[in-house]
Structure 1
Amino acid sequence: MLLPRPLVIVCLLLGVAPAATAAEARRPNILFILADDLGYSDLGCYGGEIETPNLDALAARGLRFTQFYNTARCWPSRAAFLTGYYAQQVHRDDLPKLGGGNDGTRQKWARLLPDFLKPLGYRSYHSGKWHVDGSPLAGGFDHSFMMQNQGNFFTARGNFVDDVAVTPDADESGYYATTETADYAIDWLKDHAKNHPNQPFFEYVAFIAPHFPLHALPEDIARYRDRYLEGWERMRAERYEHQQAMKLLDTPLSPVEHDLGPPYDFPNVLEGFGPGEVNRPLPWDDLTDEQRRFQATKMAIHAAMVDRMDREIGRIIDQLKAMGAYDDTIIMFAADNGASAELMIRNGGHDKTAEPGSEATYLCLGPGFSNACNTPFRRHKVWVHEGGISTPLIVHWPKGIAAQGELRRTPAHLIDIVPTLLDVLDAEKPTEWNGKPIPPAPGRSLLPAFAADVPIERDSLWWSHNGHRAVRQGDWKLVAARGEPWELYDMRTDRAESNNLAAQQPERVQELETLWNKQQDEMIDLAKQTPKLGRTGAKQKKAKRQQPRSQPAP
């Protein structure tokens, strides 16, 4: 009797003879965890000093991808992950004269992953941030806890359970969004174990942490309160040293761009935050004592948010173990973009007299410590330089991956998750939906890399966001910030993007620029078939102006 392909793969990877029958074989469960505004080096297993023992343990017993990419922003990354397409292909990021973006609507054929898993017997669950058009239930999830309120970690106001608005408790003193996200994820798992024990599950846990506002529990902040008083240069150097010891990357440490501030200009923000705020990654010794304390406190809150997220992930893992699902659950962890240099005040303002990290405050990490969180890369969320688009990817699956603690160096992207999972499950994606053809998707299966550190063949990877552009073909990356000329880098030895080779290799620049334009033109041709979905009746918004590099620092 022929065995299902997933079981054959498991046996080959584990080096054992397949002994089960087809009837005994069962498809693995899937748990995908996504962080928000997490720096490449924030986790201990990627060089950081923040306590993340649960994620570190998954990495030690699984795989770490060193060149995994997102889209540089939250909503296009979520579209890429859940559909397997570049966000521009499904109206979830801008294209010239066609719109698209956070208010764009996917085409009918642009299904989310649960729709492809349902025919295979899966039940799907969501907990946390959404930021995709439509609702989670309409997207194929059986249950959802959707956190629409992203401006206050201490209230349930604005959240939904199974598309029904939550009524907050009169006393919310014990509420914290990161814990609530894990609570619902665990509730869905318990319900699954009780009522659907013979079916596999897909659970998508989307933490808002450590996205601004910097809100954390006081006891978590206390663990890091004085940890960062030596400054962002010291933190960056220590993280880089750890990465080198891990042999994580072969690249120099990128130089600090002292004149590069937040991606968007909010002129009154410094006054709103007070004299402790700075909008440039200036030398730490040039700051006042008040500024150093303020910046170190912000980083302490960021660290506390990451620490708490890891603790909650530990509780979800404990639930998997309790229900006997841990060994045969594919656990993946990634982030939607790099750490953020943004400085803004929303959602009712910021009380400068309140305890930092409390509900009355609205703090953002800013360019100094964001630069350190993205070690060893340049720039931040929004930009498509490596600091904006590089994310950890941890893959853990005891029954399917024999390797433990190994690195995978093949370039890969969120668009690869859907084809990877379908390949693992030996499932073919439909070629049409409701009689309409489904266009070919750009992602590639990473399944071969589960077994060995092998390259995944592809023509290129492509980025465009807010006027920032990039394309990577093999080891060469062409990248340009909005309004700036193309830069060319050899990713084999310079992922820090320190040595611009554009002037020395103009022919390669031209070749890669042609490739970037070709891919954008193909996306435009696809989007033109359903142009009204790009903006759903709203006026096309002008791109927010990038903060001038020449603006004087405070």
Structure 2
Amino acid sequence: MKKLLTTLLICFAAVTSSAADKPNIIIIMTHDMGFSDIGCYGGEIETPNLDMLAKNGVHFSQFYNTSRCSPTRSSLISGLYSHQAGMGLLTNDQGEHNPGYRGRLMERCVTIAEVLRPQGYLSIATGKWHMGHEKKEWWPLGRGFDRFYGCPQGGGFFFRPSSWGNRTVVRGDEVIYDKERDPAEGWYATDAWTDEGLKYVEEAVAKKKPFFWYLAHNAPHFPLQAKPEDIAKYRGKYKAGWDVIREQRYQRLVKLGLIDENHKLAPRYKHVPAWDSLSEEEKDTQDERMAIYAAMVDCVDQNVGKIIDSLKRLGVYDNTLIIFLSDNGGQSEGKRPLGFNRGKGAPGTAESNTHYGTCWANVSSAPFRKFKNLIHEGGISTPLIAHWPKGISASIRGSIIKQTAHVIDIMPTLVELSGAQYPDKHKGHEIIPMEGVSLKPLFDGGKIERSDAIYFEHTGKKGVRYGKWKLVCTYGLKWELYDMENDRTELNDLASEMPEKKAQLAKMWEAWAARCFVKKAKRTK
């Protein structure tokens, strides 16, 4: 009996030690935030907490998303290309004959939460889901998460769900706010997603369980709505105008080492007027719009600070991996270069519907060309910060990782770090193998080896990144070819000079598209 008791105690101690050794994981994703908006990526918006994470962790100069919200989220959470997960577009189901466009996470993929569950993780999702909302089994609790507080649909609100279509806020699988029921005065989405998630983190720590928290902000996506005190902080700071601010960001990016000085700042987008051509009244309006946007990003950073403080208080800061990224580049949706406010209330309020327009999206995505929805660098390049005191080598902290990486790499990274097993089958369904590679060697100062290219497709826009080469096209136009080592901002198209390289990469893209359920698109020359 004594021997049996001793054996049980040893086994219990081993399990407890194993759980303690597993890293806690927090993924923080912003929505429609450009490459150069935050301080450590050259921006003038005050983000001291994110800057600290970059200074004491690592940050990436060539990390890619899929160019739009739902596809990026599905790639992140599944480790697959978005079409393989069923989300080649948004949440509209295009039918069984289009398996890459079913509008939800399909049974042929698993989520990070489903993979981590056997390792004893408490998995938390707060914020925007937008990966299937019509049935509760498509919500986070149906896909491996233990706790959920957020919006099953897309974002589009900050003070009140009732201000934006059919949006709801759910706790678990119960709707608590909708068009008939609004939260109390003072509720603000960015704060709420964080505060509720921290409650679940405390629960996990109390239970001595490792936790995985997917915190998906709807900020700074339109409509631009922010707290008055945060807006006031930035009012007047953007009257220098987009031409000056883009140049300032570019100079800081070069100084920080995120952009080589040989990579020139892309010119102002063709539909954006020169700042000096605006009237004083127009300049004031534009300053206000960007001030609201900056306030929303600032609020995200404030909440990162709350997370850091809580992790330290709970004694789990050193063994928590924090990953921060955005789902796509700056958004120019709305089809008005100067933006607009179509709402009934003053810009920034719950009754407003304000967009900041192509003019400021061109700043958010600086130094690159193009925007959200497009496969040029302005649409697919995102900041990526990784901070983990216990797991990132002290010798590389504060450094910039210049190897290319993609959201499909997050799943294999977490599988390796947690000791989890990625399944061949789940709930009776065959599971597609992971597409990405683990980034763990980079945390140790090493390199990653990728056997294939990185591929892109969204509504007919296409791209391939293979080594230093990038092939890209828009809406069936001609392929463009860029040498990313010497021309990261895509200003010198080499397609006509290097037809064999263009043909090689185009053939690779066609093979990938056929394998990964990409809808047959018009062949590109």
Q: Is the 8 A contact 1:70 1:389 kept in 2?
A: yes
Equivalent position of 1:79 in the other structure: 74
C-alpha displacement at 1:385, in angstroms? 0.4
Residue identity in the other structure for 1:184 = E
Are 1:253 and 1:375, in contact at CA under 8 Å, matched by a contact in 2? Answer: no
Tell me the amino acid that sits aligned with residue 185 of structure 2: S
The letter for the 2-side match of 1:173 is: E
Unpaired stretches in structure 1, ≥5 consecutive residues: 1-19, 260-279, 529-541, 544-554
> Could you tell me which residue of structure 2 aligns to residue 65 of structure 1?
60
Closer/same/farther in 2, CA of residues 483 and 171 from structure 1, 3 Å limit: closer
User: Among the aligned pairs, what percent are the same residue?
Assistant: 40
Relative to 1, partners in 2 of residues 1:234 and 1:159: Cα closer, same or farther, differing over 3 Å?
same
Pair 1:187 & 2:180 matched = no
More helix by share: 2
CA deviation profile, 1:32-60 (whole Å, cap 9, x unmatched): 10000011011101111100011111111
Question: In the superposition, relative to structure 1, how do residues 209 and 32 fare at CA in structure 2: closer, same or farther (>3 Å)?
Answer: same
The match for 2:259 among 246, 249, 263 is 249
Identify the match of residue 201 of structure 1 among 206, 211, 221: 211
Give the counterpart of 1:141 among 133, 139, 145. Answer: 145
Alignment of 1:514-553 (within 5 A): 514-524=507-517
Q: Secondary structure at the match of 1:223?
A: helix
Separation in structure 1 between the aligned mates of residue 334 and residue 391 of structure 2, nearest angstrom: 43
Of 35, 38, 44, the residue aligned with 1:49 is: 44
In the TM superposition, 1:257-336 aligns within 5 A as 258-259=269-270, 280-336=271-327
Q: Output the amino acid matched with 1:233.
A: D
**After superposition, what is the alpha-carbon deviation per residue over 1:431-462, rounded to whole angstroms, capped at 9, x for unaligned?**
22244432222111111111115243231000
- CA deviation map 1:143-167 (0-9, x unaligned): 1012247232111552110010114
Deviation digits for residues 395-427 of structure 1, max 9, x if unmatched? Answer: 011011123101111100000000011112233
Instruction: State how many pairs are aligned.
Output: 485
The structure-2 alpha-carbon separation of the partners of 1:92 and 1:167, relative to structure 1 and needing over 3 Å to count, comes to closer
Q: Alpha carbons of 1:505 and 1:137: their partners in 2 closer, same or farther (altered >3 Å)?
A: same
Shift of 1:288: 2.4
* CA offset digits 1:322-379 (Å, max 9, x no partner): 111110001100110001011279xxx9556732111121111211111111111110
What amino acid sits opposite 1:71 in the alignment?
T
Structure 2 gap segments, 5+ residues each: 1-12, 133-137, 163-167
3-state SS of 2:516 partner: helix
Give 1:379's match in structure 2, choosing from 365, 370, 373.
Answer: 370
User: 1:135, CA displacement in angstroms?
Assistant: 0.3
Instruction: Report the AA paired with residue 142 of structure 2.
Output: A
- RMSD of the alignment, in Å? 2.5
Contact 2:170-2:176 within 8 A present in 1 as well: yes
In the alignment, is residue 368 of structure 1 matched against residue 359 of structure 2? yes
1:235 aligns with 2:239: no
Within the alignment, does 1:30 sit opposite 2:25 as a pair? yes
Paired residue secondary structure (1:66): strand
Question: Which amino acid is 1:477 matched to?
Answer: K
Does structure 2 conserve the Cα–Cα contact (< 8 Å) formed by 1:127 and 1:185?
Answer: yes
Partner of 1:462: 455
How far apart are 1:321 and its partner, in Å? 1.1
What is the CA–CA distance in structure 2 between the aligned matches of 1:209 and 1:523, rounded to whole Å? Answer: 30
C-alpha contact (below 8 Å) 1:332/1:394 kept by paired residues? yes
Counterpart residue number, 2:123: 124
Cα distance in 2, alignment partners of residues 30 and 218 from structure 1:
32
**Partner deviation per Cα, 1:67-126 (whole Å, 9 max, x = no partner):** 100000000001000000001112211599944677523332311111110101111001
Equivalent residue letter for 2:118: P
Aligned equivalent of 2:158: 153
1:437 aligns with 2:430: yes
CA contact (8 A) 1:156 1:166 kept: no
Q: Is the 8 A contact 1:54 1:311 kept in 2?
A: yes
Contact between 1:317 and 1:326, CA under 8 Å: does it hold in 2?
A: yes
Q: TM-score of the superposition, structure 1-length normalised?
A: 0.83
Residue 357 (structure 1) aligns with? 348
Which residue of 1 is the match for residue 3 of structure 2? none
Retained in 2: the 8 A contact 1:410–1:453?
no
Q: Is the 8 A contact 1:407 1:453 kept in 2?
A: no
Amino acid at match of 2:24: N
Q: Kindly indicate whether the alpha-carbon contact (under 8 Å) linking 2:265 and 2:489 is maintained by their aligned counterparts in 1.
A: yes
Distance 1:434 1:166, change over 3 A: closer
Equivalent position SS for 1:104: coil
- Say if 1:150 and 1:208, in contact at 8 Å, map to a contact too: yes
Query: 476, 483, 489: which one pairs with 2:469?
Result: 476
CA distance in 2, matches of 1:428, 1:352: 49
Displacement of 1:513 in angstroms is 0.5
Report SS of the residue matched to 2:214: strand
Cα distance in 1 for partners of 2:175, 2:344 equals: 33
